[in-house]
Structure 1
Amino acid sequence: MTRNPSSRRRVLPWIALAALIAAVAIGLVSFRQQGGADQIRPVLKIGDQRGGAQALMRAAGELDDVPYRIEWAQFPAASPLLEALGAGAIDVGGVGGPAFAFAYAGGAKIKAVFAYRPQGANVGRASAIVVPKDSPIRSLAQLKGRRLATVRGSVGQDLALRLIEKAGLAPSDIRWTYLDNGAAKAALESGAIDAWATWGSYVGIAVMENGDRVLGDASSLPAQAGFFAASDAAIQGKRAVLGDFLARLNRARRWAAAHPDAFARTLAQETGLPFKVARFSISAYIGTAEPIDDALVREQAEIFARYRRAGIIPALPDIRGAYDPSFNATTLARRD
């Protein structure tokens, strides 16, 4: 039987349309399957600060081919990061030892699971008390009765406590003004405060960009350990994922220690910091990992005691459960 040519012409568009619909349907199924697979992958929620773990791990290539999803949450300082960690909004995040101690003493259900210690000749310069360049304050002893701004319970406050103690002052001799770093920077510029205890890129900006003067820094003090802390829930429910992340983090730190200029260039690009400030600030962040052990816990106990003497925390907590050594083997293993 011979088909009518006009009929054949009418059928062909419908065949083509059916083929197109089929192709789209296959694509949608594939998309849904991929999306579904992505949705069932474990998720690790990581708290970070500007120029922190995300920038470091991206520069080192440790965010490539991660077998789980990472959700990054950026915080302006350790204090709100730790609040989110204690509330279960994130799983893990990097903080200094003093900030961790302050949060734990406040009842946060968290544990330090990874420890590192910055190293290098200039590491102590990245934590400092700064004053305006024309300030009449020339010594730490002259801070008595002065307004010193910092973040409560932070690396900056702990540094200030250590320095004024060496200068023969008591915590009560200082007029503590609690501000976040952005507000403290503005307050110093306006003359609303006399001095500012801060760290990292904030020191670099204050000194290298604004011309402020360093009144005292951590150069003469032993370098303190920094931590990555995790929630109790993440330690129990996401152990394998958390261990993989910490191992990647340690490899990234070793890479940055060997390639500081490369990391500083990436950091400058991602944060908008001048290269010299970025290069300065990373000295407080990169460093070698070390085990969480009894010696480290004893060292951290000194921070709790210092905070208690200053009235920053109401009581000394039992810190035996604050530091979890169970990830030591995973995080310290070398797999370069």
Structure 2
Amino acid sequence: MPSEHAYPSVPRRWWGLAALLIVVVVVALLVWRTERPATKAASRPVLIVGDQRGGVQALLRAAGELDHVPYKLDFALFPAAAPLLEALGANAIDVGGIGGAPFAFAYASGQPIKAVFAYRVDPARAGRASAIIVRKNSPLHTLADLKGHRLATVRGSAGQDLALKLLEKAGLGPHDVQWVYLDNGQAKAALGSGAIDAWSTWGSYVGIAAIEDGDRILADGSRLPGNVGFYAASNAAIAAKRPLLNDFVQRLSRARIWARAHPRDYAAVLAKETGIPFEVALFSIESNLGTPVEIDDQVVAEQREIFERYRKAGIIATVPDLAGGYDRSFNEAAKGAGH
């Protein structure tokens, strides 16, 4: 089973460069294909938004925020936050939505990006959709039982940050488990086959595992403080496309406020776009409802805790200077949306 130690004969940097090249080529082809027929709109400015299936595009569509956009919005789909952030750092896209944990991992890795919009999820609900999953018949029944076992997650993700917090709560350290780094699709299959013992994940993956697959939630984040999610932009986009980003942030803020009042309407759009059952879509949405918040000292301080957890776990080498990672100049645009 692949892990962080897989393929030792090939330097890790070459795998990273190859993955980045693939991301850039895929995004370039995607944007080329979407723009070729639109010759009449060639003069319109374009904002390229990195997205995941059922993400911000579904939210904006459900909220009516894709209507009357005075510029062109192109959406580039990614399977997870990590390749989205690689594309953002390579200027293949302009902006994209990610959790606080993957943003911290990317920023600590030197990506030229900044958080431009923040929202705080409801802690009473959000924790339900962030969980460590085991098979229904697994012999593991407590967090302490994870010691020495294989725990899969995406490296530097919200799933890994959740696992670190839950392990600490149980009196375990980051080196008390065998980390297996897989994307969510691979981890789901590995759990079903018994190749791993547990899986730390989030969002609709938790709903599918618990509602459809009959897997068991070993522990979730329901008793942990609520997290902050971000939309991050490349430094290049901030410099060249500020008016577009200001408008996009306003639309995001209005859409987030709308979603809190219309979760079932949002779930219907999400289920249609992703093909997941309505109940799973509603579970994912209700666990991710959030309120737009300013990027302020408190938000940055909470982010510092993630950096410190990752440093102690050996996921990042050092905690970078956080001053350059959070752009507060877009707070006024989010406020202007009326929240």
TM over 0.5: yes
Corresponding residue to 2:203 among 157, 176, 200: 200
Instruction: Tell me which amino acid in the other structure corresponds to 1:142.
Output: D
In the superposition, relative to structure 1, how do residues 174 and 301 fare at CA in structure 2: closer, same or farther (>3 Å)?
same
Which residue in 1 is equivalent to 2:177? 174
Q: Which is greater in Rg?
A: 1
Contact 2:99/2:228 (<8 A) preserved = yes
Which residue in 2 is equivalent to 1:229? 232
Alignment of 1:99-118 (within 5 A): 99-118=102-121
Contact 1:156/1:197 (<8 A) preserved = yes
* Greater Cα shift, 115-124 or 237-246: 115-124
Q: Which runs of 5+ in 1 are unaligned?
A: 1-33
Corresponding residue to 1:288 among 291, 300, 306: 291
Aligned residues: CA RMSD? 1.3
Which segments of structure 1 move beyond 3 Å, counting only runs of 4 or more? Answer: 34-37
Which residue in 1 is equivalent to 2:155? 152
Q: What is the DSSP-based 3-state SS (H/G/I as helix, E as strand, rest coil) of the residue aligned with 2:92?
A: coil
* Greater Cα shift, 293-302 or 155-164: 293-302
Which residue in 2 is equivalent to 1:268? 271
Distance 1:150 1:103 in 2: 16
Give the length in aligned residue pairs.
303
Deviation by residue 1:233-286 (Cα, 9 ceiling, x = unmatched)? 000100000110110011111111100011001111111010110000013433
Corresponding residue to 1:310 among 308, 313, 330: 313
Alignment of 1:12-51 (within 5 A): 38-51=41-54
Distance 2:335 2:142 in 1: 41
Distance 2:122 2:147 in 1: 32
Q: Which runs of 5+ in 2 are unaligned?
A: 1-36
Which residue in 1 is equivalent to 2:5? none
Q: What is the DSSP-based 3-state SS (H/G/I as helix, E as strand, rest coil) of the residue aligned with 2:75?
A: strand
Distance 1:165 1:105 in 2: 22
Contact 2:123/2:227 (<8 A) preserved = no
* Greater Cα shift, 96-105 or 284-293: 284-293
TM-score (norm 2): 0.87
Q: What is the DSSP-based 3-state SS (H/G/I as helix, E as strand, rest coil) of the residue aligned with 1:74?
A: strand
Alignment of 1:74-223 (within 5 A): 74-119=77-122, 121-223=124-226
Sequence identity percentage? 64
Deviation by residue 1:53-94 (Cα, 9 ceiling, x = unmatched)? 000000111001101011100111101100000011000000
In the superposition, relative to structure 1, how do residues 120 and 55 fare at CA in structure 2: closer, same or farther (>3 Å)?
same
Distance 1:283 1:146 in 2: 31
Distance 1:199 1:230 in 2: 23
Contact 2:46/2:71 (<8 A) preserved = yes
Distance 2:38 2:193 in 1: 52
Q: Tell me the CA shift for residue 176 of structure 1.
A: 0.1
